[in-house]
Amino acid sequence: RSERVAGQMPFMEQQLNRECSLFTEDGKYVIVGSAIHIPDDLRPHFYNIH
């Protein structure tokens, strides 16, 4: 598409978010993992990533 929405990056420049959900057998808990690219200059220490 040629039109642009203010504040949004063009589609090809966006990073896609990938996530995974795991459920326990009793259905009481869900574990959700999500990942997105973090630039090297903004990368936190590994123990700050949850």
Domain ranges for the chain, please list them. 13-40
Q: What is the pTM of this model?
A: 0.28
Is the distance from CB of 35 to CB of 20 less than 8 angstroms? no
pLDDT score at 12? 47
pLDDT tens digits, 26-36: 888 877 776 66
Alpha-carbon gap, residue 34 to 38, rounded angstroms? 12
Number of other CB atoms surrounding residue 16 within 10 Å = 7
